[in-house]
C-alpha cells in the first residue's frame, strides 16, 4: 500500500465505469459510463445532476466504498486500489446530508473520541469556522450530551458539526454533499462561511443543490444517466450561451435538478 501525499490532493478518473452487481452471474446495470475527469489540486469541483445521474456513486468510488469495474481512480497521483485505507479515511473528509451523531458529549462527537484533540484545538476550529456562538448556546457547551441520530440538532447544525469534525482532521480532499433541505438564513450564512474556510487550501468536490454553492466552484461537472455531459471551468461554461450550465443558470437550477 501507499500513503497519499500531504497537502491538497489532485483527483483523476480515467475511463471509469461502474455497475452494482445484482445478478448471480455478477452482472448488473452500468450506472457510470467511461468517466474521464481531472481536477487539479486546490480547485473546487461543483457536481450537478438529477437524482439517479450517478453523483452518489461517484462519491462512493472516491471514498473507496466501491472500486470501479473498469478504469482507475487516483488521488494525488496514487491509484486508490494501492492506498492504505486508514490513510484514505484521514485524507479524504466527507460531509453528507446524513450526519452520524452518537449519544455522547458535543466534544466526543466533534473529536470522534480522540483524546489527543484537546479543547483548545476544538475551540480554535470552532472560532475559525464561525461556530463558537453555536457551541456556547448549548446548555453545557462542549459537555452537552447530544442524542444519537441527530436528535436535538437541526439539519444545518448537524452539518456544521460535521464541518468541525473534518477540519480537526485536516484532509487534502473535502467532499460535500450539501443539504438539499431549506435552511434558515442565519444557518445558511454560517454554512457558507464554514465551507469557504473548509475549502481554503484544499481540493473540494461539492454535490450541489443550490446555485449559491456552485458560484464558489472553479470547475463544473454535469452528469446525466451516469455519463459526463459537460465538464469544464465554470468561467468558460458561464461564457458559453450554448452550454448546459448556462441553461441551468437561466432557468433556475432548482427547477432543472428536481
CB proximity list for 129: less than 8 A, separation 6 or greater: 160, 163, 164, 167, 193, 194, 197, 198
Strand pairing category for 11-19 and 30-39: antiparallel
Higher pLDDT: 209 or 91? It is 91
Higher pLDDT: 109 or 213? It is 109
Q: What is the pLDDT of residue 248?
A: 87
Looking at the DSSP bridge assignments, the partners of residue 74 are: 12, 79
Q: What is the pLDDT of residue 160?
A: 86
Q: What is the pLDDT of residue 192?
A: 85
CB proximity list for 116: less than 8 A, separation 6 or greater: none
Dist CA 228 CA 222 (whole Å):
6
Q: What is the pLDDT of residue 23?
A: 56
Q: What is the pLDDT of residue 26?
A: 55
* Greatest Cα-to-Cα distance within the chain, rounded to the nearest angstrom: 56
Higher pLDDT: 148 or 120? It is 120
Looking at the DSSP bridge assignments, the partners of residue 18 are: 32
Dist CA 153 CA 155 (whole Å):
7
Dist CA 135 CA 149 (whole Å):
18
Dist CA 135 CA 229 (whole Å):
43
The predicted model gives 74-85 an average pLDDT of: 96
Domain 11-21+29-253 sits in CATH at 3.40.50.300
0.75 surpassed by pTM: yes
| 28: pLDDT strictly greater than 80 | no
Per-residue DSSP letters for 194-225?
HHHHHHTTSEEEEE--SHHHHTT-SEEEEEET
Dist CA 128 CA 228 (whole Å):
36
Phi (first) and psi of residue 157, to 5 degrees? -65, -40
Q: What is the pLDDT of residue 110?
A: 93
Q: What is the pLDDT of residue 150?
A: 66
Q: Which residue has the cell 479543547?
A: 119
Amino acid at each position: 500500500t501507499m500513503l497519499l501525499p500531504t497537502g491538497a490532493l489532485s483527483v483523476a478518473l480515467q475511463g471509469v465505469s461502474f455497475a452494482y452487481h445484482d445478478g448471480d452471474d455478477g452482472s448488473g446495470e452500468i450506472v457510470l459510463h467511461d468517466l474521464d475527469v481531472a481536477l487539479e489540486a486546490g480547485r473546487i469541483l461543483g457536481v450537478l445532476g438529477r437524482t439517479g445521474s450517478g453523483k452518489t456513486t461517484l462519491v462512493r468510488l472516491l471514498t473507496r466504498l466501491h472500486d470501479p469495474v473498469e478504469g482507475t481512480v487516483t488521488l494525488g497521483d496514487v491509484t486508490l486500489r494501492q492506498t492504505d485505507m486508514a490513510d484514505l479515511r484521514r485524507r479524504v473528509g466527507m460531509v453528507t446530508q446524513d450526519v452520524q451523531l452518537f449519544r455522547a458529549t458535543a466534544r466526543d462527537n466533534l473529536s470522534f473520541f480522540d483524546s489527543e484533540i484537546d479543547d483548545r484545538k476544538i475551540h480554535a476550529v470552532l472560532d475559525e469556522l464561525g461556530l463558537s456562538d453555536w457551541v456556547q448556546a448549548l446548555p453545557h457547551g462542549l459537555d452537552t450530551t447530544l442524542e444519537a441520530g441527530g436528535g436535538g440538532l437541526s439539519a444545518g447544525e448537524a452539518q456544521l458539526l460535521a464541518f468541525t469534525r473534518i477540519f480537526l482532521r485536516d484532509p487534502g480532499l473535502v467532499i460535500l454533499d450539501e443539504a438539499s433541505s431549506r435552511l434558515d438564513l442565519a444557518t445558511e450564512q454560517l454554512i457558507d462561511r464554514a465551507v469557504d474556510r473548509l475549502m481554503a487550501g484544499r481540493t473540494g468536490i461539492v454535490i450541489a443543490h443550490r446555485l449559491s454553492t456552485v458560484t464558489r466552484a472553479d470547475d463544473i461537472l454535469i452528469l446525466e444517466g451516469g455519463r459526463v455531459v459537460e465538464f469544464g471551468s465554470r468561467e468558460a461554461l458561464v461564457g458559453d450561451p450554448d452550454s448546459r450550465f448556462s441553461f441551468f443558470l437561466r432557468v433556475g437550477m432548482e427547477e432543472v435538478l428536481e
